[in-house]
A and B are shown apart, each in its own frame.
Chain A
Amino acid sequence: MATTDKEVNELIKREYEHGFVTDIEADTFEPGLNEDVIRRLSAIKGEPEFMVEWRLKAYRRWLEMDEPDWAHVGYPKIDYNAISYYSAPKRPEDMPQSLDEVDPELLRTYEKLGIPLHEREKLAGVAVDAVFDSVSVATTFKEPLAKAGVIFCSISEAVRDYPELVQKYLGSVVPHGDNFFAGLNSAVFSDGTFVYVPKGVRCPMELSTYFRINAANTGQFERTLIIADEGSYVSYLEGCTAPMRDENQLHAAVVELVALDDAQIKYSTVQNWYPGDENGKGGIFNFVTKRGAAIGKNSKISWTQVETGSAVTWKYPSCILRGENSVGEFYSVALTHNYQQADTGTKMIHLGKNTSSTIISKGISAGKSSNAYRGLVKFGPGADGARNYTQCDSLLIGDRCGAHTFPYIESKNKSAIVEHEATTSKVSDEQMFLCRQRGIDPEQAVSMIVNGFCKEVFRELPMEFAVEAGKLLEVSLEGSVG
């Protein structure tokens, strides 16, 4: 039944829908990175002195660091001086004061991406921060959120308006020297989202950021900081797309989450950066550091990610479970096709008593792609009664792809319990035959089987995103079944 393997592989061909370029006048820095560039960037953003110093310190540290080489990915050497570190749509005056002042071309771009920003068309119940290249261009629903006491703004605004919070928490979860890409981000991050949910507040709506890379030869270095104060709850989603270009572009983001006592943060990502073409040309290098600190007792941090884009993904959303009874979760679907490479997973660092974590990872490899799960579960000596359950499953489609599992499990506490299970299988000929015998098209059958494989993860996504995620995995036949 060797024929069906090839067919199934053909079936999963996808067109990249978001590959258009927005023609907009932009202010873009000359490529290159040095202390002057960082000072200029900081000056444009009108940052206070502490921020400039913070960036420079990070930059000096970064110069001494080495690019990591342990991931199961390969890509040409990046020339960090060939990248422009700032690109923003030209605007008449500093920041638009209301959505009406946002360049209509930009609004159209987001509409095209399915993210209308206008008051009357806004996504019901979802507040959006739209980040275009290096800057946040619009944030919706600011007022109702402010009424609830929730701060939801671009990180640039937060640096100016809430310097105490920023100073206290920025870099507290992912310090400068954490890793090469986080170091670079700390030096040059241009924008991103800031969220603060005060004590006892349940954020009244979903918050989301939509990241769009548009300009050529730029990198996007956004920084997100979410703080959930005692007893609060917030659900946050992010989406990402980029135009189709033959050159690779770098996206090196840092996301920090802080959950205090009894607080909960649910962070969902649907990542659909341009993956490159079917010959592996172009695409985004997605080198991202995401980490949450569950520092409060009974706090909870939950990561859900659906990764279908990017040429190379290097990403390990993690939880540091410091608070007693704190909970960490990681639900992931990573699909790679053509020449995409993904090395993704999570770290669950159990430090506090009775902490628990769950990891569900579903990897789907097709074409000539490579898909690796890399995870660390660690129990410190103080993690009495801690628990972890890990399940990572890989689905292979076609015989020229790779699926790998690299779980690191470390325990220093005798009462901690970890269970890890992993399986690798393929869409079986028997499953395909059953579906087709019931009159179902082969492409629909593959899509159904793949979606079923991912169900445990999709279940964790907020409704609108679950639908989007399902669609992303959907496949088109393109008349290739022979």
Chain B
Amino acid sequence: MKQAPTLSAAFLHPAGSSLPEPLLALRKERGTALVDMPLPTRKTENWKYSSKYLKLSDEMAISLPAQGKTGSSLAVPGYKVVFRNGIMIPEASDYPDLDGIMISRFGDLSDATAADLAAKLDGTLNRNTVQLAGLNSARFEDGLLISLSPNAVMDQPLFIIHEVDADASGSAFPRVFVEAARHSQFTLVEEYISAGSEPVMVNTVTEFVLADSAQVTSIRLNTEGENVQHIGATGVRQQRNSRFASHCVGFGGPLRRHDLQVRLEGEGAECKLNGVVVTQGKQHYDNHTTIEHVAAHCNSEETYRNIAADQSHAVFNGRIHIHQDAQKSNANMNNKNLLLSTGAEIDTKPELEIYADDVKCAHGATIGQLDEASLFYLVSRGISRRQANVLLTMAFINELVQQIPVEAVRDTATKRLNQFFDSTFEEA
């Protein structure tokens, strides 16, 4: 048997950093665990369809410095934090002191708070299935801790703009940790953008820990450029009656990978995961989601839509895992895909793994093309074929776009989607 390639040792040298000691210790420990880590191949089940897009050269191993400026496409109506190449830029950030809400970069944490945080980091993720995102824990140079006290309600969404800008190859490791105490409410928008053209890796981890009855909404918009290989992971743990909603909108790239893992650990917890992905050219996008029903009486609802044009490749892998004690679970997963061109590829794998008997689980997946009858109907009303294509394609995902609860994101997403359609459907 051929030896599988392993992660180059060059990636295991974190940049010097002003992080508090407990976090530096954590980095070191995680780094040691990654020595000789096999890189995913076609035979690695959770990278089956995407390993071929992963191209890590040693030049990409260095940490990018916190410089450059990209400029968000979002009109930020709320509070804003800017991360440049994984490092927070206080002078570009703008948020007030809020009652019961702590927002702090990792570098500013006291040793005691940092020790507390170090014990919690990675706690939401199954490190066996987010192998590469694990690199973030060995390399992060900064991060943002958002901690909501009981009953704290953030009155506006917090926007984190994750910029990558570099004139050389390298990597960035943005890190976010959100703790929502009981009955707190919070909406986080994360936008990933980039400038520059040298190959870079953006390796992100965002974690949410929801206490009883906390309500958190996470919005994730990825519009990074053609030089960025993005490997991201989001982990969520939910206690009793908490509510988590996720809205992801992603545009393809040379490698786009997002793992979203939710654990429903308290009775009555609910999550709703929505996702929209569009790819064109030779782009790629791979969403892997896992919802674990650990406690009884939890609900999960998942809806993902992919559109692949040209020679692009979109992947969806959704897994619902109902644990033995999670009786009366209700889980629904739906994945619909639109293949706009022969030459493009869509792979989907909606999985159910069920160990409790009194549950209601269903999943559905379809792959198809635009309905010819609908196209014809529109064209017969004098609409151009191109316009009809755009209308119907937009209709395929619009329902999910409209559910995004922050207008600025909805507008930007719609604008970017229209640009995508403009370049996908040729003028007649």
What residues of chain A have their CB less than 8 Å away from a CB belonging to chain B? 5, 66, 70, 379, 381, 384, 394, 396-426
Chain A neighbourhood of B358, CB < 8 A: 5, 399, 426
Expressed in whole angstroms, the minimum distance between the Cβ of A338 and any Cβ of chain B is 16
Chain B neighbourhood of A419, CB < 8 A: 364-366
- Say yes or no: A406-B351 contact (C-beta < 8 A), given A417-B369, A424-B361: yes
Tell me the nearest residue of chain A to B359, going by C-beta. A424
- Say yes or no: A421-B344 contact (C-beta < 8 A), given A70-B45, A406-B351: no
Complex: how many Å from CA A424 to CA B363? 9
Chain B neighbourhood of A5, CB < 8 A: 357-358
Most B-side CB within 10 Å, residue of A405, A414, A420, A422: A414
- Say yes or no: A415-B361 contact (C-beta < 8 A), given A400-B324, A404-B352: no
Tell me the nearest residue of chain A to B351, going by C-beta. A406
Other 13 A-B pairs with CB < 8 A, given A422-B350, A424-B361: A5-B357, A401-B355, A405-B353, A409-B347, A410-B49, A411-B339, A414-B344, A416-B339, A416-B367, A416-B368, A418-B366, A421-B363, A423-B361
Query: Do A404 and B353 have beta carbons less than 8 Å apart?
Result: yes
Query: Do A381 and B342 have beta carbons less than 8 Å apart?
Result: yes
Query: Do A397 and B357 have beta carbons less than 8 Å apart?
Result: yes
Chain B neighbourhood of A403, CB < 8 A: 352, 354
What is the interface of chain B mostly: helix, strand, loop, or mixed?
Answer: strand
- Say yes or no: A402-B347 contact (C-beta < 8 A), given A411-B339, A415-B342: no
Expressed in whole angstroms, the minimum distance between the Cβ of B325 and any Cβ of chain A is 9
Query: Do A422 and B353 have beta carbons less than 8 Å apart?
Result: no
Chain A neighbourhood of B108, CB < 8 A: none
What is the interface of chain A mostly: helix, strand, loop, or mixed?
Answer: strand
Complex: how many Å from CA A424 to CA B360? 6
Chain B neighbourhood of A413, CB < 8 A: 339, 342
- Which among A66, A400, A420, A425 is the interface contact of B365 at CB below 8 angstroms? A420
Expressed in whole angstroms, the minimum distance between the Cβ of A435 and any Cβ of chain B is 18
Chain B neighbourhood of A402, CB < 8 A: 353-355
Expressed in whole angstroms, the minimum distance between the Cβ of B332 and any Cβ of chain A is 10
Interface assignment of B1: CB less than 8 Å from any CB of chain A? yes
Chain B neighbourhood of A418, CB < 8 A: 365-368
Interface assignment of B348: CB less than 8 Å from any CB of chain A? yes
Interface assignment of B362: CB less than 8 Å from any CB of chain A? yes
Chain A neighbourhood of B343, CB < 8 A: 381, 412
Query: Do B352 and A405 have beta carbons less than 8 Å apart?
Result: yes
Tell me the nearest residue of chain A to B356, going by C-beta. A399
Query: Do A421 and B364 have beta carbons less than 8 Å apart?
Result: yes
Chain B neighbourhood of A422, CB < 8 A: 350, 352, 361-364
Complex: how many Å from CA A66 to CA B348? 27
Contact digits for B304-316, partner A, Cβ 8 Å, 1 yes 0 no: 0000000000000
Complex: how many Å from CA A410 to CA B351? 14
- Say yes or no: A409-B352 contact (C-beta < 8 A), given A417-B369, A418-B368, A422-B362: no
Query: Do B324 and A404 have beta carbons less than 8 Å apart?
Result: no
Q: List 26 A-B contacts (CB under 8 A).
A: A384-B342, A401-B357, A402-B353, A403-B352, A404-B354, A405-B350, A407-B349, A407-B350, A407-B365, A408-B349, A409-B349, A409-B365, A410-B347, A411-B339, A411-B345, A411-B347, A411-B367, A413-B342, A414-B340, A414-B342, A415-B342, A419-B364, A420-B366, A421-B364, A424-B362, A425-B360
Chain A neighbourhood of B194, CB < 8 A: none
- Which among B341, B346, B357 is the interface contact of A396 at CB below 8 angstroms? B357
Complex: how many Å from CA A398 to CA B342? 46
Interface assignment of B327: CB less than 8 Å from any CB of chain A? yes
How many residues in B have their beta carbons less than 8 Å from beta carbons of A?
Answer: 37
Chain A neighbourhood of B344, CB < 8 A: 412, 414
Tell me the nearest residue of chain B to A382, going by C-beta. B342
Tell me the nearest residue of chain A to B329, going by C-beta. A424
Complex: how many Å from CA A245 to CA B349? 39
Chain B neighbourhood of A397, CB < 8 A: 357
Expressed in whole angstroms, the minimum distance between the Cβ of A392 and any Cβ of chain B is 9
Chain B neighbourhood of A398, CB < 8 A: 357
Chain A neighbourhood of B347, CB < 8 A: 408-411
Complex: how many Å from CA A419 to CA B365? 6
Tell me the nearest residue of chain B to A9, going by C-beta. B357
Complex: how many Å from CA A401 to CA B358? 11
Query: Do B324 and A415 have beta carbons less than 8 Å apart?
Result: no
Chain A neighbourhood of B368, CB < 8 A: 416-418
Complex: how many Å from CA A114 to CA B327? 43
Chain A neighbourhood of B354, CB < 8 A: 394, 396, 402-404, 424
Tell me the nearest residue of chain B to A406, going by C-beta. B351
Chain B neighbourhood of A411, CB < 8 A: 337, 339, 345-347, 367
Complex: how many Å from CA A426 to CA B356? 10
Expressed in whole angstroms, the minimum distance between the Cβ of B333 and any Cβ of chain A is 9
Most A-side CB within 10 Å, residue of B324, B340, B350: B350
- Say yes or no: A407-B351 contact (C-beta < 8 A), given A5-B358, A399-B357, A421-B364: yes
Chain B neighbourhood of A417, CB < 8 A: 366-369
Complex: how many Å from CA A414 to CA B1? 37
Chain B neighbourhood of A421, CB < 8 A: 362-364
Query: Do B342 and A399 have beta carbons less than 8 Å apart?
Result: no
Tell me the nearest residue of chain B to A381, going by C-beta. B342
- The B322-339 residues at the A interface (CB cut-off 8 A) are 324, 327, 337, 339
Complex: how many Å from CA A413 to CA B340? 9
Chain A neighbourhood of B357, CB < 8 A: 5, 396-399, 401, 426
- Say yes or no: A420-B350 contact (C-beta < 8 A), given A381-B343, A425-B360: yes
Expressed in whole angstroms, the minimum distance between the Cβ of B291 and any Cβ of chain A is 14
Tell me the nearest residue of chain A to B362, going by C-beta. A423
Chain B neighbourhood of A404, CB < 8 A: 351-354
- Say yes or no: A414-B341 contact (C-beta < 8 A), given A420-B365, A424-B359, A426-B358: yes
Complex: how many Å from CA A414 to CA B341? 5
Across the A-B interface, give the 4 residue pairs with the lowest CB-CB distance, nearest first: A396-B357, A405-B352, A424-B361, A417-B368
Query: Do A409 and B361 have beta carbons less than 8 Å apart?
Result: no
Tell me the nearest residue of chain A to B355, going by C-beta. A402
Tell me the nearest residue of chain A to B49, going by C-beta. A410
Tell me the nearest residue of chain A to B333, going by C-beta. A422
Most A-side CB within 10 Å, residue of B345, B360, B366, B367: B367
Chain B neighbourhood of A420, CB < 8 A: 350, 363-366
Complex: how many Å from CA A425 to CA B322? 12
Expressed in whole angstroms, the minimum distance between the Cβ of B181 and any Cβ of chain A is 34
Query: Do B366 and A412 have beta carbons less than 8 Å apart?
Result: no
Chain A neighbourhood of B362, CB < 8 A: 421-424
Chain A neighbourhood of B346, CB < 8 A: 409-411
Tell me the nearest residue of chain B to A409, going by C-beta. B348
